[in-house]
Amino acid sequence: EVQLVESGGGLVQPGGSLRLSCAASGFTFSSYEMNWVRQAPGKGLEWVSYISSSGSTIYYADSVKGRFTISRDNAKNSLYLQMNSLRAEDTAVYYCARRVLPDYWGQGTLVTVSS
């Protein structure tokens, strides 16, 4: 069974940093591209970042470019999102998702940026 479990969310002040993790199981993690997708409270889905299976190709949404860094450790079956210079508008549930057009999603982790 495919499982994606996010962790690392929480309350952070504007300008602060947070690192999200996603633990994958039930499939060959190193064979799949992965994404981070977020959803602000009461809003729709917003694609955030993509990483290829090897990690050699990475994309970011304009809204996070230069502030967020996606990475993966295929030996640990893990996906990461380093978030720096956080803003109030980054407040959202962050999902890790398998494939460019996701077929499996994690349960999400809430990031709240507030003073």
Partner 1 sequence: QSALTQPASVSGSPGQSITISCTGTSSDVGGYNYVSWYQQHPGKAPKLMIYEVSNRPSGVSNRFSGSKSGNTASLTISGLQAEDEADYYCSSYTSSSTPCVFGTGTKVTVL
Chain residues binding partner 1 by CB under 8 A are: 35, 37, 44-47, 50, 59-61, 95, 100-108
Angle at 54 between CA 21 and CA 98, to 5 degrees: 50
Alpha helices in 1-115 (DSSP H): none
Alpha carbon 20 to its chain centroid, in Å, reads 7
In the bound complex, what is the minimum distance in angstroms from residue 14's beta carbon to partner 1?
25
Closest CB to partner 1 among residues 8, 102? 102
In the bound complex, what is the minimum distance in angstroms from residue 108's beta carbon to partner 1?
6
In the bound complex, what is the minimum distance in angstroms from residue 47's beta carbon to partner 1?
5
CA separation for the pair 97, 115 (Å, rounded): 29
